[in-house]
Structure 1
Amino acid sequence: MSNLQKKEKRWLKPIFDFDNDEPTKKRVKTASHKHPTTSPVKSASTTDKRIINIDHKTWMKNFDPVTVGDLAVNNKKVQEIEEWLKIACSGNCGEILLLTGPVGCGKTITIQILAKQHNIKLTEWITPIDISLPSEYGDYEYREKQSTKFLDFIINAANFTSLLDNNSKKLVLVEDLPNTFTRTPSEFTDVLQQFKQRAKSPIVFICSESHTDSKNTGANLFTPSLKDQFKIHHITLNSISVTGLRSALKRVAEIIYNKHTSVYTVPSSEMIDCIVNSSAGDVRSAVLNLHFACLRGSQQSMETSIVMEKETKTKSNKRKKQASSKFTSLGKDQTVSILHGVGRVLNPKMVLDDNGKSKLSHSPEEIIEQFVSQPNSFVNFIQENYLPHFACPYQTERAASILSDADFMLAEWREKMCLEYGLYAAVAGLMLANRTPVSAWNPVRRPTYSKIQYP
């Protein structure tokens, strides 16, 4: 029996073991598994998990302006909006304000902060998704039109409040207009007519300006006749100035230093200047760029790359240009507008380099990099405006010959390199041909023909 018991102990593995020795061994194993020894590799993984678990949906609210002094918008524009709010909310009629401006100039946040400061109940319209329901005959039909939903919402929001709300002043905010109004503007006119007759609180329409005419809602819907008919007050905000962008980013850097050093690295003044140069007056884009530039856990720190660029240069002017160009990939795709580009080509300026030789202040390569995506449009602008900037007939003849060569290369649309060569020939050729540019103000005219015609 003893031999059988020994054999059973060898090949039998009971599920429940009441021996006092083996549980202690298991506890030691589990304890060592639950509490591993700290090592640099594991600590790095824990920090990576902490970075991955960031709530990217609400992180930007940590840097939102709180008071009017935190806004980067021009003070005169803020005062104009504030005066309209006081007058419109004091009455008992449906006043209408149209607030336009480029993307990221602080239109929505200005309305929100001013409404909060003056204890005004702000209700925002968000376009719902169309819900289709089966009809009696089996096919699908929409329950209610978007224009009807929009009219009911703005009138109810302007006339009624919640029982739990103590705010007597109300304001309706519309930033996302239904698409049906762009297709049928007459419906939008009817909605405004009903609002003026029935509403008791003002409404604010926010429209972002666009370079494309078809997407410019403020200009297409709010025509001059419509604004005169309903007495719509129109306020236009400009892009944020360099000083305003810099102060806004410094405020964000201060918030990072006080509250979020575990997630972000504190940005330097050089990094802030580079982001300001690459944001083109868009404060939202500037804050996003600062977020990605300062986020911990990235493979390469952008601040160290800037320092390396600075150490390789000798003069401060060149160092600043290299640092700002390093951040152009973070900002908008086109940092130089087409009007500025045409002005730099038609009014070339010569400066002296380190060796005492003359060179162009704006190199053709820098200008070409901004307009590689649309070479035909840029060359059309140059052809329309280059004649008033030339004083010598021989230089004018040379410029015309250069533009004809550029047209020949731009006509070969099947080869991308030909487009780049044509753009380079037009830009560099005109800048070098115009030795004595006319020093007078010449407005930039739009091209007569949007496309070049060839025989």
Structure 2
Amino acid sequence: MNKKSNKNWISLDIKVDEVKNDFPVGTKVTRDSLKVFAVPSETKKAYNFFEKVIPTIESHLAVHSKKIKEVEEWLLRNVKDKCGKGTTSILLITGPAGSGKSATINVLCNKLDIRISEWVNPVDQDYELSKGPGQSAQFLEFLVQSKYLSLLEDSGKKLTLVEDFPNSVIRKPDEFFTILEKVYYKARSAIVFICADEDMSNNISHQLFPQNIRDLYKIENITFNACSVTLMKNSLKRACSLILERSDLFTPPHNDIIEAIVITSCGDIRSAMNQLYFASLKGFVRSK
């Protein structure tokens, strides 16, 4: 059997009878025409809605102001005002997916002129595991190298960020504990670990950062809450203003659609933005 896959296509369970009224009068509606109708044009693809809604200043964050202040104070105390002496300052940020953890760090570091060095998992993991150094070794090398700064760099303006943990340390937390021990006494730049809360049986923050490890390495923990209804509505309002600027690509959603998005997103701002995008995109077929 000759199987073909095209990542540009999204498989949708669409019934022809449900969308006939969305086409001009006299148009013959078939499954093929539905595909053409549902796929955004090249102009739509060129407009990166999600890039434009990324928060760039504090007022854009869907995070409580007290939580933003808490993170900012840690950055000032452990990054900006620390001279690179002593042990490594480590912050663990936890909270539900889409609660603004990463966005807050990025906005505040930009505000405070702090350079972020972020760990990214190797794309070709099979190759790395079989031909090159293991993930744990690469991870350790990355964290340790973060202590080396060029003569032009200010040690008080650099932060090491880890959000995408290597699978190897998730499978074997003891390896992560060993890495922490080596990094804690060597790295000069502060480290921020970000973990999304999951169910207790599969919670990375509990596996990699049990209380004894937090106490041993003086790891501070700031916990984010799910995005509140008020903050989410404010963020969606800002996103809708972007939609209004591109009437050729989007149709402004009705208030009842916004209310439904707020309810179904369950405090996840990323989920809310995804729903808003598809609810507003012209040419995207929606069932009746």
Pairwise same-fold verdict (TM > 0.5): yes
Question: Is the CA contact (8 Å cut-off) linking 1:120 and 1:169 kept in structure 2?
Answer: yes
How many Å separate the matches in 1 of 2:258 and 2:170? 40
1:130 aligns with 2:91: no
Q: TM-score, normalised by structure 2?
A: 0.79
Deviation at 1:161, TM superposition (A): 5.1
Closer, same or farther: CA 156–131 of 1 in aligned 2, 3 Å: same
Instruction: Could you tell me which runs of 5 or more consecutive residues in structure 2 were left unpaired when the two chains were aligned.
Output: 1-25, 28-35
Question: Is the CA contact (8 Å cut-off) linking 1:158 and 1:202 kept in structure 2?
Answer: no
Cα deviation code 1:13-49 (max 9, x no counterpart): xxxxxxxxxxxxxxxxxxxxxxxxxxx99xxxxx969
1:78 aligns with 2:68: yes
Structure 1 match to 2:10: none
Structure 1 match to 2:50: 60
1:237 aligns with 2:237: no
Structure 2 match to 1:169: 157
Q: Which of the numbers 102, 107, 117 marks the counterpart of 1:113? A: 107
Three-state SS of the structure 2 residue aligned to 1:159 is coil
Question: Is the CA contact (8 Å cut-off) linking 1:130 and 1:142 kept in structure 2?
Answer: no
How many Å separate the matches in 2 of 1:245 and 1:69? 12
Q: Which of the numbers 261, 272, 275 marks the counterpart of 2:258? A: 272
Closer, same or farther: CA 166–256 of 1 in aligned 2, 3 Å: farther
Q: TM-score, normalised by structure 1?
A: 0.51
Which one-letter code corresponds to 1:202 in the other structure? A
Three-state SS of the structure 2 residue aligned to 1:55 is helix
Cα deviation code 1:88-136 (max 9, x no counterpart): 1121142100001111111111100000000000111011133649xxx
How many Å separate the matches in 2 of 1:72 and 1:118? 19
Three-state SS of the structure 2 residue aligned to 1:51 is coil
Structure 2 match to 1:145: 134
Structure 1 match to 2:94: 100
Question: Is the CA contact (8 Å cut-off) linking 2:244 and 2:252 kept in structure 1?
Answer: yes
Higher relative contact order (CA 8 A, sep 6+): 2
Cα deviation code 1:207-227 (max 9, x no counterpart): 1111251x2100111000000
Question: Is the CA contact (8 Å cut-off) linking 1:257 and 1:266 kept in structure 2?
Answer: yes
Over the matched positions of the two proteins, sequence identity in percent amounts to: 35
How many Å separate the matches in 1 of 2:213 and 2:46? 41
Deviation at 1:287, TM superposition (A): 0.5
Closer, same or farther: CA 222–254 of 1 in aligned 2, 3 Å: same
Question: Is the CA contact (8 Å cut-off) linking 2:115 and 2:157 kept in structure 1?
Answer: yes
Three-state SS of the structure 2 residue aligned to 1:267 is coil
Instruction: Could you tell me which runs of 5 or more consecutive residues in structure 1 were left unpaired when the two chains were aligned.
Output: 1-39, 42-46, 134-139, 306-455
Question: Is the CA contact (8 Å cut-off) linking 1:209 and 1:218 kept in structure 2?
Answer: yes
Question: Is the CA contact (8 Å cut-off) linking 2:98 and 2:268 kept in structure 1?
Answer: yes
How many Å separate the matches in 1 of 2:40 and 2:136? 44
Number of residue-to-residue matches in the alignment: 251
Three-state SS of the structure 2 residue aligned to 1:172 is strand
How many Å separate the matches in 2 of 1:132 and 1:226? 32
Closer, same or farther: CA 153–167 of 1 in aligned 2, 3 Å: same
Cα deviation code 1:418-437 (max 9, x no counterpart): xxxxxxxxxxxxxxxxxxxx
Pairs within 5 Å for 1:393-432:
none
